[in-house]
Structure 1
Amino acid sequence: MLKNVEAVIFDLDGTLIDSMWMWKSIDIDYLGRYGIAMPDDLQKQIEGMSFSETAEYFKERFQIPDSLDQIKSDWNRMAWDKYLNEVPLKDGVVEFLEHLKMFGIPMGIATSNSRELVDLIIEKHGIKKYFTTIRTSCEVAKGKPSPDIYLLVAKDLGVHPDRCLVFEDVLQGIMAGKNANMKVCAVYDEYSDLQEKEKRDLADYFVYSMKEVLDM
């Protein structure tokens, strides 16, 4: 998997940390404030969107009266305690990051989450030191499946896209990596369990945890 790879880029939620489960409950609670039941298709519709794109989608679809900044601030506040106290690293993450560091392979994060929550969780788990660059989709023109975020991180790392390996847990993210002409390893996550066959078909590799990569 690491043959001819000069840099590794990770998604965050569902890939490095076990956090996808909590966003559905936050969406339910947030829409409940306005007396709106969460539609069944919501999670699929917003998958891959940047934090800002998601706020715009909510404001338009559900006619939320608050500003985009207020919507994002409310989400950060609702997620903060969960990220601080209930969101663990996924199995084998630290061991794999150490392995890459030992072999001098630079690493980056390309995430759709907010910068505030990204900084919180990587500081909490002590993994910030492994990453040369950390970018959010709010810093590029379009979120995933657009390749923009992955191309930006590759540029930061000074590595050509076809020499990058991406780790992603959802279809829109896998598509973003492939659209950037990078090799992609799909990562199992309970949240996207029903997408496993599609993830396997689309990605170059599939693993249930980072420990599998080390075993390879």
Structure 2
Amino acid sequence: MIKDIDACIFDLDGTLVDSMWMWPDIDAEYLERFGFEYDDNLKNEIDGISFHETAVYFQKKFGIKDSVEKICQDWEDMALDKYKYEVKEKPGCTCFLKHLKSRGIKMGIATSNNKNMVDAVLNSLNMKDYFEVITTSDEVKKGKPAPDVYLRTAELLGVRPEKCLVFEDVVAGVIAGKAAGMKVCAIEDDFSKEVRERKKELANYYINDYRELL
């Protein structure tokens, strides 16, 4: 899979770390403050878009009067403790990162999350030093499924898109990687199990566990 690949670019949530489980809880708790019930369809509506874009979406959909900045800060406050103390790496992840490093393959992260939370979880799991570049969707014009965040990460790594392999857990991310002209390996995640076959159909490869690649 990594033959002729110069860089691997990873999504964060659901791909490097097992964290997707916490977001419906946070969304439900947040919406309850404003008298709304969480709807399972919501996760499909916001899959892949940036943290800021999601806040704009919530503001419009639910008529929330708080500023986008206040919404983002509230979510960050709710999520940081979970990232620091509860979120674990996906099975075999660190072993695979060590393997890539030993092969001299560059590594970057392209995530829809925000920088503070990315730093919190990577520092907690001692992963940060593996990555030369961390790009968030807030740094580009459009979030996933647009290819912008993957193209920007490849540019910062100094690697041509066709020499990059993307790892993703959701359909929007797989589409973004393919739109960037990169090969994509979809990874199993319980949060997106209902679209498992769609992920397999869209991606070049599919794995259940990083240990399959060692």
Q: TM-score range by the shorter chain?
A: over 0.9
Aligned-residue offset at 1:39: 2.5
Aligned-partner Cα distance in 1 for 2:80–2:160: 35
Aligned-residue offset at 1:213: 1.3
- How much is the aligned-residue C-alpha RMSD, in angstroms? 0.6
Aligned-partner Cα distance in 1 for 2:65–2:194: 34
Which range moved further: 80-89 or 164-173? Answer: 80-89
Letter in 1 for 2:148: D
Query: Where in structure 2 are the equivalents of 1:1-216 lying within 5 Å?
Result: 1-214=1-214
Aligned-partner Cα distance in 1 for 2:46–2:26: 14
Letter in 1 for 2:52: S
Aligned-partner Cα distance in 1 for 2:142–2:114: 15
Letter in 1 for 2:202: L
Aligned-partner Cα distance in 2 for 1:6–1:83: 30
Which range moved further: 141-150 or 79-88? Answer: 79-88
Aligned-residue offset at 1:40: 3.2
Aligned-partner Cα distance in 2 for 1:40–1:3: 39
Letter in 2 for 1:166: V
Aligned-partner Cα distance in 1 for 2:136–2:209: 23
Aligned-residue offset at 1:80: 1.0
SS of residue matched to 1:184: strand
Identical residues among aligned pairs (%): 52
SS of residue matched to 2:186: strand
Could you tell me the TM-score, scaled by structure 1's length? 0.98
Aligned-residue offset at 1:81: 1.1
Contiguous gaps of at least 5 residues in structure 2: none
Aligned-residue offset at 1:209: 1.0
Aligned-partner Cα distance in 2 for 1:25–1:128: 26
Aligned-partner Cα distance in 2 for 1:19–1:169: 11
> Are the aligned partners of 2:7 and 2:159 in contact in 1 as well (CA < 8 Å)?
yes
Count residues with an aligned counterpart.
214
Letter in 1 for 2:78: M
SS of residue matched to 2:8: strand
Letter in 1 for 2:40: D
SS of residue matched to 1:166: strand
Aligned-residue offset at 1:41: 1.6
Aligned-partner Cα distance in 1 for 2:84–2:127: 14
